[in-house]
Amino acid sequence: MKASVASVATALTVGASTVLGAATNMNMKRDSDITPITVKGNAFFKGDDRFYIRGVDYQPGGSSDLADPIADAEGCKRDIKNFKDLGLNTIRVYSVDNSEDHDECMNALAEAGIYLVLDVNTPKYSLNRAEPKQSYNDVYLQYIFATVEKFAKYDNTLAFFSGNEVINDGPSSKAAPYVKAVTRDMRTFLRARKLREVPVGYSAADVDTNRLEMAEYMNCGTEDERSDFFAFNDYSWCDPSSFTTSGWDQKVKNFTSYGLPLFLSEYGCNTNTRKFEEVEALYSEKMTGVYSGGLVYEYTEAGNKYGLVKISGDNVKTLDDYDALKKAFDKTDNPSGDGKYNSTGGASGCPVKNAPNWDVDTDALPAMPSPAKKYLTEGAGKGEGFSGKGSQNAGTASSGTASPGSGSVASATAGGSASSSTSSEGAAANLKPMQMTFAPVAVGAVTVLSTLFGAGFLFL
């Protein structure tokens, strides 16, 4: 972290805005009795108790049928029965229609003690890898801010993902500044609107070339630029395996001093018969000092052999993988106490350019597009939903490079842009790109094509 009088002043300003935001939220009517999840050091907490994510990725319909499972109240309540049977406390949803109502499902999930981790992007409203500067614009930010505004009111919204698997090799690391800028903007929006400060972070691909660099990058710089957590999709444990054979021991070692909560946003290799033997390791003290659990890919079978259940109309059939996961969860308790977490947390140093593995020239981020700044004071307004025209070729792009601390509420809502005249550079994409790994590509296929070919491309 850069140490200067200015950065100290920024930290004090951010701290003051946090206190004011918390005071405002205390006067707001709660939608349920569920306890919101908070971040302390490198762990999540539910009140005073350590919270471990025990969840699944939930996107009925898969990539070929873009649907909002949280807007489908009956389907949601139908599936909650299985969520409870499995012993889950969290689901991840990859896309929601922000023009729809979600109260019934979110309240039903809360009553069941289940939290939501939400990706804010859709195929038409996401960063375009081919045109990152153009697609990082005010129309895009309005859409994701509308999603954030809609879901921050629910106490069981655990976290927001600003992107998923944008960086999947060395050259694509040029996308990092835009991913980090979106994360910064979402956190600034929550604070400026005095909404509950739902943790915001990134879901990364598990690539050896720059996995650690991306984690460090999302946790370096001034406080306003840093993520609240970091997650990655990990399919390196393929049964039969072990803590050491899978390489998970080395990942724990590499992240031991990491200052943010870390969890698996997807896991569950299906190369062989899945017994979910990794569950026992993931929730043991040899990992919980670094990891806060994870999300199994995925609840619904979509032709990729990763599903726990098969849905046909209103009929839900549990599969062998469902039984295997239930057995693994049933016999695995969370550690007692705090799981040996790092209570102090703290920032990382920004990684140094090391092309081609880490091809980021500067720590500076793109400035928020000027027309989007009004949403910080006026609110995002209505979301366009799945039927919207899209944002990738619309709106006003960023016109400069942000100054450190520009994401603080005081700076972001001031009249100036808090940016230099140097053009922003980098490349970006959002959600899951193609991978040559064992990881599933079904959910990400729509996003891949929208990222590569623009918003107009959809599966038929």
Instruction: Using alpha carbons, list the distances in angstroms from residue 78 to 44, 59, 65, 84, 158.
Output: 28, 14, 19, 11, 21
Strands 315-318 and 401-402, by their bridges, are unpaired
3-state secondary structure the chain: CCCCHHHHHHHHHHHHHHHHHHHHHHCCCCCCCCCCEEEECCEEEECCEEECEEEEECCCCCCCCCCCCCCCHHHHHHHHHHHHHHCCCEEEECCCCCCCCCHHHHHHHHHCCCEEEEECCCCCCCCCCCCHHHHCEHHHHHHHHHHHHHHCCCCCEEEEEEEECCCCCCHHHHHHHHHHHHHHHHHHHHHHCCCCCCCEEEEEECCCCCHHHHHHHCCCCCHHHCCCEEEEEECCCCCCCCCCCCCHHHHHHHCCCCCCCEEEEEECCCCCCCCCCHHHHHCCHHHHCCEEEEEECCCECCCCCCCCEEEECCEEEECHHHHHHHHHHHCCCCCCCCCCCCCCCCCCCCCCCECCCECCCCCCCECCCHHHHHHHHHCCCCCCHHHCCCCCCCCCECCCEECCCCCCHHHHCCCCCCEECCCCCCCCCCCCCCCCCCCCCCCCHHHHHHHHHCCCCCCC
**Nearest of 165, 159, 330 to residue 234 by alpha carbon:** 165
165 included as an active-site residue: yes
In total, the chain counts a number of residues equal to: 460
> Quick one: CA torsion of 3, 203, 380, 449, rounded to 10 degrees?
130
Low-confidence ranges of the chain (pLDDT < 70): 1-32, 63-64, 415-460
* Residue 415 pLDDT: 59
What pTM was estimated for this model as a whole?
0.85
Q: Retrieve residue 28's tokens.
A: 């707001």
| Alpha-carbon span 281 to 80, nearest angstrom | 26
Longest dimension (CA), the chain: 62
Burial of 427 by CB count in 10 Å (0-12 exposed, 13-18 middle, 19+ buried)? Answer: buried
* Residue 65 pLDDT: 77
CATH number of 37-331: 3.20.20.80
The domain segmentation of the chain, as residue ranges, is 37-331
**Nearest of 441, 408, 404, 402 to residue 424 by alpha carbon:** 402
> Under 8 Å CB-to-CB from 269, ≥6 apart: which residues?
235, 236, 237, 238, 239, 438
> Under 8 Å CB-to-CB from 178, ≥6 apart: which residues?
127, 132, 136, 366, 426, 427, 428
Of 131, 213, 216, 266, the active-site residue reads 266
Strands 291-296 and 49-51, by their bridges, are unpaired
Of 131, 165, 223, 301, the active-site residue reads 165
Strands 37-40 and 43-46, by their bridges, are antiparallel
| Alpha-carbon span 87 to 73, nearest angstrom | 21
**Nearest of 260, 282, 405 to residue 332 by alpha carbon:** 282
| Alpha-carbon span 341 to 260, nearest angstrom | 10
384 included as an active-site residue: no
